[in-house]
Chains A and B, each alone.
Chain A
Amino acid sequence: MTITRRQVLRGTAGGLAASVALPLLDCMLNANGTALASGAPMPLRFGTWFWGCGINPGRWNPKATGADYEITPELKPIERVRAHITVLSKFDVLLDGKPNFVHSSGNLGIRTGQAPAQADQSELPTIDVLISDAVGGATRFRSLELTASGNPRHSYSRRSTSVINPAEGSPVAFYTRLFGPDFKDPNAADFKPDPAIMLRRSVLSSVSDDRARLAATVGAADRARLDEYFTSVRQLEQQLELQLQKPPPAEACVIPKKPGEGPVGQDIEVSTANHKVLAGLLAMALACNQTKVFNMVFSDSASSLTKAGTDKTHHTLTHEELADPQLDYQPQATWFGARSLDAWADFVSILAAVKEGDGTLLDNCLVLAHSDTSFAKTHDVLGIPIMLAGRAGGRIKTGIHVAGNGEPVSRVGLTLQQIMGLPIDRWGMGAMQTAKPVGEILT
């Protein structure tokens, strides 16, 4: 049987169910409740989550593999979301003879499949950009970048060294961008294409008129940059096109309340609070199909997190704090690491709290969480802690621990891209080139 959206909504006062979560009626799903009745599968989302300055490997790496791995002292923060997470330990960034650029080689190694030859420079796009290029075209935003630190430069979503997708740090600005005047509620009763949008869209296409002539007048490198610019123009045209069509219903989509203005920054309490607000907004953005790819930075790679009244940042502590002779680790630095993983558990919980289909939003997500080092004091890029969250629509196993035993971390990147449907059989460069996905996590 088919029930139209209109029939469901007729009973609602005013017609617009803007603030009412519509229940997902069984008849809108297929027999298994795993796909929409129209046959289209639930959208699959990819995201990354980053925190700076790693962990203490001896206290983080579990010994047992599989589903019964032990919760080590530094995995304690994720115990509450253990079922949603896959822990990947001891996968290494192989420097391939290049210097270890502090707080850069590890991060870029994981995200581009190659350790950079110069600090903070890579002409390879990061994994999220590769994925958003492949799957991000049909949504309003090709990808969304967020940071809990408030600094738009804290983004590791890069097409190249100089082309970085800026991160949103202000909850209010993020809300306005997502749910402000240009938002089209997928669950709205009736839909009329806005003539103003039609006009904007047709006018915008004239901006790219001169593309060919311009390309002919500039050098190759500049041409690539102008190409990226024109792609950005096209992305906006795409957004406007989508606004002219009735969006497919998004059952879990509930327009959230606008957050209040508040401080932004890297005081641990401020970052933690803003992170929660941004994650909540992001969850709704995903549920409302505004994007399929997202990137969240909790703290930057040389973590500048601070605690009010103390004079050293997280990063400074990782270098200057002496290990407590009885505990055998640096208490204050480790505290920041624990708080960071606590925030990661928050993030996972927030995505898991949104019901979607017969499960949750998180079930239809694939999130890659990682840091820039394992042991920050020595900038160790071996065994950088990696965790995945979400079942990727049933494509991966969660709740297990896989030990890489020195395998290149590019195997993880390869696996993730393949899960997201990219037609690649190998990834990574030099010593990190690999054709072997991490089979243990595939269903």
Chain B
Amino acid sequence: MTKLLFVTGAVVLAASICPPVGRAVAQGADKVMPPAMVGHMRGYVFTRFMFARPATDLATDCPQGLAMSLRDSFIAQLPPEDRPKAEQIKGFGPVGSMMLATDHPENGLKFEERKEPPANLSVAEREALFKDYIRHRRDPGRHTICNNPADYKGVGYRTIDHTGTGSGLNLDGTTDGHATATTCEHKKFTGADGTPGIDDQFWRVAGCIAVYRSGGLDWDSSIRTGDWAVLMELSTPKDGGPDGDVDVNFYSSKDSLTLDAAGKVPAGLSLEYIDDPQLIAKTHGRIERGVLTTEPVDFTYKYDNQIVHERWAFEGARFRLQIEPDGGLKGQMGAYADAEKFYNYTVKPQTIDGANSNNIDCPGFYAALHTLADGHRDPKTGVCSAISVAFDLQAIPAFIIHPQKTADAGTRVP
């Protein structure tokens, strides 16, 4: 009896305290995104295009812990007697100067010495000096530990070593990663669903760095601020059904994405692609039971994020995309990237300051990229110069507009 009263009371209480929400309108079933057809091609824009992150725990991936920061690993390699003094030096500027001073005395800096501006400078002169200093530090030509990582030795750089859970695609066709004509011997991962033979050497390189494991560096947030986007066109399967052979084209978007009031990219945007052959990749694929897989293709796209403006080039890129019930795509790209260039895309633009704040050890990262490289095998030397990378992708339908001949309106679509 008491129990019953309690329950009734709770109902009444709840109704009076909690403002009723009204009937929240059902999303989902009503919100299917139809294909965005231009001619006989379906268009998509990738709203997510970032390094694949398997849902694994740190202890398994990095038993020694997260990667040391540039600062810490640098101090670790100093003579013991210099270490306490070095520990005192905090702040990015002084740390950067510290590393420059001890390794390259020709920079004119001694350990702990910072070039302080003379006291009698005006505010404007100080500002100009400071701007100059910053410009120098960002100068890719200046010799620094992150601009020239090959000149430095990494100390105990931590990589992921196991053959357990990882994320990505099988690029070399082997299950155990043995050397082939085009690839080098390397360890493989197993997918979370049990799929063997996953290649993602880049994850081994970067997976113990905090910002690569979670949140932190959001490599593709600049898609949603309109800086860049990758576009894809899919032909309808030749037999007419949902399954079959298809043509697949990739482009870089010329137009910025816009967001709706909910902060999402809406389906059905019209986006023109950049008419540059280097940024256009065409390949074939097959859709089977709602999954699209493509043949390998060399694929370059334009990437813009704050000060980084690069064309990221991949070889032998394979795509595996699931067609979702709501009409979008979800899946992965697995591809090989030149190790040297990849360092330049990812870490080098960050400079010492960025690397430090993100706990990235430049020489270690760089060296690992080369050591763990598994693709583009040199037939003569047997050395691999490209590294396998996996990306997580999501796409929604978008109308791909072919480059317009004239600037003004009036041309028919497509």
User: CB–CB under 8 A between A and B in the complex?
Assistant: yes
List residues of chain B with CB within 8 A of the CB of A317: 22
A-B contact pairs, 21 of them (CB 8 A): A307-B19, A307-B21, A307-B22, A309-B21, A309-B24, A310-B22, A310-B23, A310-B24, A310-B25, A311-B22, A311-B23, A311-B25, A312-B23, A324-B15, A326-B8, A326-B11, A327-B15, A331-B15, A332-B22, A335-B19, A335-B20
Complex Cα gap A312–B24 (Å): 10
List residues of chain A with CB within 8 A of the CB of B24: 309-310
Complex Cα gap A335–B11 (Å): 16
User: What string of 1s and 0s marks CB contacts (under 8 Å) between A321-334 and chain B?
Assistant: 00010110001100
* Contact of B12 with A by CB under 8 A: yes
Complex Cα gap A139–B23 (Å): 49
List residues of chain A with CB within 8 A of the CB of B20: 331-332, 335
**Chain A at the B interface: SS class:** loop
Complex Cα gap A317–B20 (Å): 12
Question: Chain B: which residue is nearest A324 at the CB level?
Answer: B15
List residues of chain B with CB within 8 A of the CB of A311: 22-23, 25
List residues of chain A with CB within 8 A of the CB of B21: 307, 309-310
Q: Tell which of B8, B11, B19 has the most Cβ of chain A within 10 Å.
A: B19
Complex Cα gap A36–B23 (Å): 57
Complex Cα gap A107–B23 (Å): 30
Complex Cα gap A316–B11 (Å): 25
List residues of chain A with CB within 8 A of the CB of B22: 307, 309-312, 317, 332
List which B114-165 residues lie within 8 A (CB) of chain A: none
Q: Min CB distance, B11 to chain A, in Å?
A: 7
List which A337-390 residues lie within 8 A (CB) of chain B: none
- Whether A309 pairs with B25 at a CB distance below 8 angstroms is yes
Q: Min CB distance, B28 to chain A, in Å?
A: 15
List residues of chain B with CB within 8 A of the CB of A326: 8, 11-12
List residues of chain B with CB within 8 A of the CB of A312: 22-23
List residues of chain B with CB within 8 A of the CB of A324: 15
Complex Cα gap A312–B25 (Å): 10
List which B1-29 residues lie within 8 A (CB) of chain A: 8, 11-12, 15, 19-25
List residues of chain B with CB within 8 A of the CB of A309: 21-22, 24-25
Complex Cα gap A136–B321 (Å): 72
Complex Cα gap A331–B15 (Å): 8
List residues of chain A with CB within 8 A of the CB of B8: 326
Q: Min CB distance, B304 to chain A, in Å?
A: 31
Q: Min CB distance, A323 to chain B, in Å?
A: 12
List which A288-320 residues lie within 8 A (CB) of chain B: 307, 309-312, 317
Q: Min CB distance, A328 to chain B, in Å?
A: 11
Complex Cα gap A307–B25 (Å): 12
List residues of chain A with CB within 8 A of the CB of B12: 326-327
Complex Cα gap A335–B24 (Å): 16
Q: Min CB distance, B246 to chain A, in Å?
A: 39
Question: Chain B: which residue is nearest A335 at the CB level?
Answer: B19
List residues of chain A with CB within 8 A of the CB of B23: 310-312
Q: Min CB distance, A72 to chain B, in Å?
A: 14
Which 4 residue pairs are nearest across A and B when measured between Cβ atoms?
A310-B22, A332-B20, A331-B20, A311-B25
User: What string of 1s and 0s marks CB contacts (under 8 Å) between B41-55 and chain A?
Assistant: 000000000000000
Complex Cα gap A335–B12 (Å): 14
